[in-house]
Amino acid sequence: MESERTQEYLEAIYKRQRTEKPVATSTLAEDLKVSPPAVTDMLRSLESKGLIDYKASKGAVLTEHGREQAVAVIRRHRLWERFLTDVLGMKWDKVHEEACKLEHVTSPEIEEGLSQVLGNVDTCPHGHAIPDKSGNIKEKGMSPLSKCQTSQPLCISAIDREDPALLRKIEKLGLRPGIPVTIIKKNRDGTIDLKAGGKNIPINSEMANVLLAGPAAETKAPVNTEGIPLSKLASGHSGIIRTCGSERSSLGRCLSLGFTPGSMVKMMENFSSGPVLVKVHDTEVALGRGLAEKIIISPNAKVC
């Protein structure tokens, strides 16, 4: 296993390659909060190990071997973020730093156990895809709100920067991943006027750049942003899981069945009494009505 510092660099390069390729030394220095000379020394070391292709005048690009290492770290990191929020009940603005510590000391056995307990969930609490155990990752087509068009139905997909203070502001505005939004107006100073859940929400330029969104699928009915119990979802309708109950026993049962916050569910059959038949993560599950009443969802919302 590569050293902790090596893993941090590979992870940072991978994330930046989405928008910047090759990744400049100055960019990595800013992201990792180290000096440019220190970054240069580390990049030369990574190149000597065959983990990156590096040119001083341009920057760094992961090799296939480097990408495999980076994706492995990202998988562990995002699984831990999910575990900390879904099982331990930590707030989403607190889990990034804790996951950074845990990702470097996680064995393959613990990694697999985390995935199974979480129901093979496919996104972290901040909306980013979790690679599967083979290293495959389903990246969504998404762009910052600052680059999206007005009047187009959109859905918040992910948060590009996991800064605790920023995440708290985003949560206060109700703009977590899975929430449908429409851009009403883009202002010259970079601020944006949004509509979400029937409310007008102004956001500053910083949020406009870190809130990632994609096209929203049409819904069968207006979105209820307050949430309803899964047991009240009509047959044929879909929703996004928000919470899975406060009791540890019910929470553990939900997670073992794959009902994790942020996951899309579809009601296959909902009779007036008795169990409900629900599809989650492409698997149909018969769920007792009592447990279904404890799972709160945003109905008819679509994941981008």
Provide the H-helix boundaries in the chain: 4-16, 25-32, 36-48, 64-86, 95-102, 108-117, 164-172, 205-210, 248-256, 289-294
Q: Which residue ranges form the domains of the chain, and what is each CATH number?
A: 4-62 (1.10.10.10), 143-215 (2.30.30.90), 228-299 (2.30.30.90)
Q: Which two tokens stand for residue 155?
A: 């859905």
Q: How far is CA 163 from CA 110, 123, 144, in A?
A: 27, 18, 16
Question: What tokens does 265 get?
Answer: 């569910």
| Distance of alpha carbon 114 from alpha carbon 24, whole angstroms | 34
CB–CB of 207/147 below 8 Å?
Answer: no
> For position 226, what pLDDT does the model report?
59
* φ, ψ of residue 112 in degrees (nearest 5): -65, -40
Q: What percent of the chain is helix, strand and coil (3-state, nearest 5)?
A: 40, 25, 40
How far apart are alpha carbons 261 and 112 in whole angstroms? Answer: 19
Integer Cα distance of 138 and 151 in angstroms: 27
**pLDDT on residue 2:** 65
Listed residue (298, 290, 289) closest to 265, CA to CA = 298
Q: What integer pLDDT is reported at residue 70 of this predicted model?
A: 95
Question: Tell me, what's the pLDDT at 248?
Answer: 62
Separation of alpha carbons 125 and 234, rounded Å: 26
φ, ψ dihedrals at 66, nearest 5°: -65, -40
Task: pLDDT tens for the chain, 304 residues: list them.
Answer: 568 899 999 999 998 998 889 999 999 999 899 999 999 999 999 999 999 999 988 999 999 999 999 999 999 999 999 889 877 878 899 999 999 999 999 999 999 999 888 777 788 989 999 999 898 988 778 899 999 999 989 999 999 988 999 999 998 998 988 889 999 999 999 999 999 888 899 999 999 999 999 988 644 444 444 578 888 888 888 888 888 765 666 677 777 788 887 788 888 888 656 678 899 877 888 887 778 888 888 876 444 4
pTM for this model (two decimals): 0.71
State the pLDDT at residue 303: 43
User: Count of alpha carbons within 13 Å of 225, Cβ hemisphere only?
Assistant: 16
